[in-house]
Amino acid sequence: MPAQRRPVKRSRRSGHAHNPLGLARGRGEKEADRRDFDLRDGLEEEEGGRARLVYPFETAPAAGAAVDVAPGVKWMRMPLGGPLAFINVWALEDGDGWAIVDTGMQTPATSAAWNQVFAGALEGRPVTRVFVTHMHPDHVGMAGWITRKFDCRLWITRLEYLMCRVMAADTGRATPEDGLRFYRAAGWDRAALDTYEARFGGFGRNLHALPDSYRRMVDGEEISIGDRIWRVVVGSGHSPEHACLYCPDLNLMISGDQVLPRISSNVSVFPTEPDADPLDDWLTSLAAIKPRVPADVLVLPAHNDPFHGLHTRLDHLIGGHERGLSRLRVRIAEPKRAIDVFGVLFKRAIGPDLLGMATGEALAHLNCLIHRGQATRETDAHGVHWYRAA
Ligand SMILES: [Zn+2]
């Protein structure tokens, strides 16, 4: 049966997590319609988070163009819309052609940019394979299109591949009761639940169908790309099995969303696994990068610009979450719902546009406290969860 589009409620949202203030307006109705899924890459940080990082490139590539960041490594950007308008994607020389890392979201503007890149910066040489760091639509969105266009393989970790297919399969389904129960328990009102219902299933509309088979990437695996070795460094918490690629020879790390210089990657609990502790996964995997990748590596992140200062940034990210957990413990001296604790975790006001991401992140912190034995949870007669410091 063909997937039925659910009616999508219009709202004053940009539809993209990198545009939390919702500054970009005036997009055509049709495009706004397909952007109804919150990409959940992260909330932007304040200036303080940038301290002591060095950005060696003065100019970023325009859409459809490329900048050489190392021998045989090209930096390109695909349009997303909004003030933080791009995702960085990378081309690695691979014999006669190019291995691509990350692909952009499924939109006509992205295919136009790719066609320009293929004919221009990539000199008409074929794509040999497509690596995807993780399942979010701005990363995986064009993977099916590129792999079919060049008849090449998708390289991705197993959990990212499978989770992506599961989430894409929600498109066209009715909103499940588990999802409504989850957000009701967090304290959402009827209007917020109605919006969730209206938007449910949007994920699959932001990506081309994945290929039906893939090449699995495994943590620690060494992959030859051209005449270089790239090592797979898996992280978790932002997405289930996120692959970074580290090349010791070039001292480069393609970090995807695992390490971003100016954005704190979103770490959220979702309705499919309400008791998950992704923040523990996140903190553990950030700490695990340090002994595996040297401090002087050039980091090639999915958003913002390439930077030096990996270990500084890892410390900053871990410290930020730990301080958030401490403030949260104080805040829940008296019982609170998930929606009551945004003030101690986020600097900005949380409006309807950010409610989903903020709730997911708040629950990630609350679940982490529960797993550490520092908080307890009780459910009231209305099915709402109340958290209290233990
Ligand atoms: Zn992401």
Whole-number Å distance, alpha carbon 15 to ligand 1 midpoint, is 14
Whole-number Å distance, alpha carbon 41 to ligand 1 midpoint, is 4
Whole-number Å distance, alpha carbon 264 to ligand 1 midpoint, is 11
pLDDT in the model for residue 14: 31
Give the amino acid at 306.
P
CA distance 100 to 94: 9
For the chain, the residue count is 390
Whole-number Å distance, alpha carbon 115 to ligand 1 midpoint, is 24
User: Average pLDDT in the 197-215 region?
Assistant: 94
Give the amino acid at 326.
S
Whole-number Å distance, alpha carbon 378 to ligand 1 midpoint, is 31
Angle at Cα 202 formed by Cα 201 and Cα 206, nearest 5°?
A: 135
Q: Which residue has the higher pLDDT, 17 or 52?
A: 52
Whole-number Å distance, alpha carbon 333 to ligand 1 midpoint, is 33
Asked if residues 307 and 54 have their Cβ atoms less than 8 Å apart, the reply is yes
Whole-number Å distance, alpha carbon 267 to ligand 1 midpoint, is 10
pLDDT in the model for residue 218: 98
CA distance 124 to 96: 10
Whole-number Å distance, alpha carbon 142 to ligand 1 midpoint, is 14
pLDDT in the model for residue 263: 87
> pTM for the full model?
0.88
Instruction: Give percent of the chain with pLDDT exceeding 70.
Output: 86
User: Average pLDDT in the 165-193 region?
Assistant: 96
pLDDT in the model for residue 64: 85
For 260-282, write each residue's pLDDT tens digit: 999 889 999 999 999 999 999 99
Whole-number Å distance, alpha carbon 334 to ligand 1 midpoint, is 34
pLDDT in the model for residue 81: 74
Rounded to the nearest angstrom, the gap between the alpha carbon of residue 96 and the centroid of all alpha carbons in its chain is 31
Whole-number Å distance, alpha carbon 89 to ligand 1 midpoint, is 13
CA distance 65 to 75: 9
Q: How confident is residue 90, by pLDDT bands cut at 50, 70 and 90?
A: very high
Give the amino acid at 365.
H
Residue 48 has pLDDT above 80, yes or no: no
pLDDT in the model for residue 44: 55
pLDDT in the model for residue 29: 29
In the predicted model, what is the mean pLDDT of the chain? 88
Asked if residues 341 and 332 have their Cβ atoms less than 8 Å apart, the reply is yes
Q: Which residue has the higher pLDDT, 21 or 220?
A: 220
- Residue 270 Rama label (left phi>0; alpha psi -120 to 50; beta): beta
Whole-number Å distance, alpha carbon 239 to ligand 1 midpoint, is 7
> Is the sign of the CA dihedral 149, 130, 159, 80 positive or negative?
negative
Whole-number Å distance, alpha carbon 104 to ligand 1 midpoint, is 11
For 13-47, write each residue's pLDDT tens digit: 333 333 232 222 222 323 333 333 344 566 655 54
Outline where the chain has alpha helix (H): 29-34, 108-119, 137-140, 143-150, 158-168, 177-185, 190-199, 278-289, 310-331, 342-345, 355-371
For 100-144, write each residue's pLDDT tens digit: 999 999 999 999 999 999 999 999 999 999 999 999 999 999 999
Whole-number Å distance, alpha carbon 238 to ligand 1 midpoint, is 7
Whole-number Å distance, alpha carbon 279 to ligand 1 midpoint, is 15
User: Average pLDDT in the 40-66 region?
Assistant: 76
Whole-number Å distance, alpha carbon 108 to ligand 1 midpoint, is 21
pLDDT in the model for residue 339: 97
pLDDT in the model for residue 43: 60
User: Average pLDDT in the 197-206 region?
Assistant: 92
CA distance 363 to 151: 42
Whole-number Å distance, alpha carbon 303 to ligand 1 midpoint, is 10
> Is the sign of the CA dihedral 100, 234, 155, 246 positive or negative?
positive
Whole-number Å distance, alpha carbon 269 to ligand 1 midpoint, is 14
Cα dihedral value 294, 41, 26, 196, nearest 10: 180
CA neighbor of 257 nearest in space, from 140, 155, 127 = 140
pLDDT in the model for residue 229: 98
CA distance 85 to 30: 19
For 305-363, write each residue's pLDDT tens digit: 999 999 999 999 999 999 999 999 999 999 999 999 999 999 888 988 889 999 999 99
pLDDT in the model for residue 31: 33
Q: How confident is residue 170, by pLDDT bands cut at 50, 70 and 90?
A: very high
Beta strand 375-379 pairing with 385-389: antiparallel
Residue 12 has pLDDT above 60, yes or no: no
Whole-number Å distance, alpha carbon 56 to ligand 1 midpoint, is 24
Pick the range with the lowest mean pLDDT from 203-207, 239-243, 249-253.
203-207
